[in-house]
Amino acid sequence: MLQEYDGRVRLVFKDRPLAMHTLARPAHEAARCAGAAGQYWPYHDRLFAAQPAFRRADLLAYAGELGLDRDAFGRCLDERRFAADVERDIEQAQALGINGTPTFLINGQRVIGATGIEEFRSIIDKALQERR
């Protein structure tokens, strides 16, 4: 998922469901289904608030809470419409040596784990200065 901030910094969000969390992959695919309906970030945030409640019924309920068409959303889930996209993200993460979440790459600098906003600001400011 891409978002631009001030036209200068771009955030690329990739899926990295971990195998030890058996329901994580369907949740990631569900977020992609929500994204196809323009609700990726609200759905993503709902998943984080609800974890680990990621059974199919839960995923459908979250879609309904966001006003998504539950039938269309259910078809997207059942067809695993975004499975290949999630798999590509997993393969890319593995190729980069990213084995856990959260992991951030900021201009090639790896930031692993929950990181405070001040540390992020510092890293991003430094990256922007280097770019100038």
pLDDT in tens, the chain (132 residues): 444 455 555 667 888 888 888 999 999 999 999 999 999 999 999 999 998 999 999 999 999 999 999 999 999 999 999 999 999 999 999 998 888 888 888 877 888 888 888 998 898 888 888 876
CATH classification at residue 38: 3.40.30.10
Whether residue 113 sits in one domain with residue 72: no
Whether residue 50 sits in one domain with residue 14: yes
Task: Give ∠ CA 90-21-69 in degrees, rounded to 5.
Answer: 80
Whether residue 89 sits in one domain with residue 129: no
The parent domain of residue 80 ranges over 2-98
Quote the distance between the C-alpha of residue 68 and its chain's center.
19
Whether residue 89 sits in one domain with residue 57: yes
Q: How many domains, the chain?
A: 2
Tell me the two tokens of residue 14: 């990739």
Query: What's the predicted TM-score (pTM) here?
Result: 0.81
Distance CA 57, CA 115 (A): 32
| DSSP secondary structure code for residue 104 in this structure | E
Whether residue 56 sits in one domain with residue 113: no
Whether residue 123 sits in one domain with residue 64: no
- Looking up tokens 């955030």 gives 11
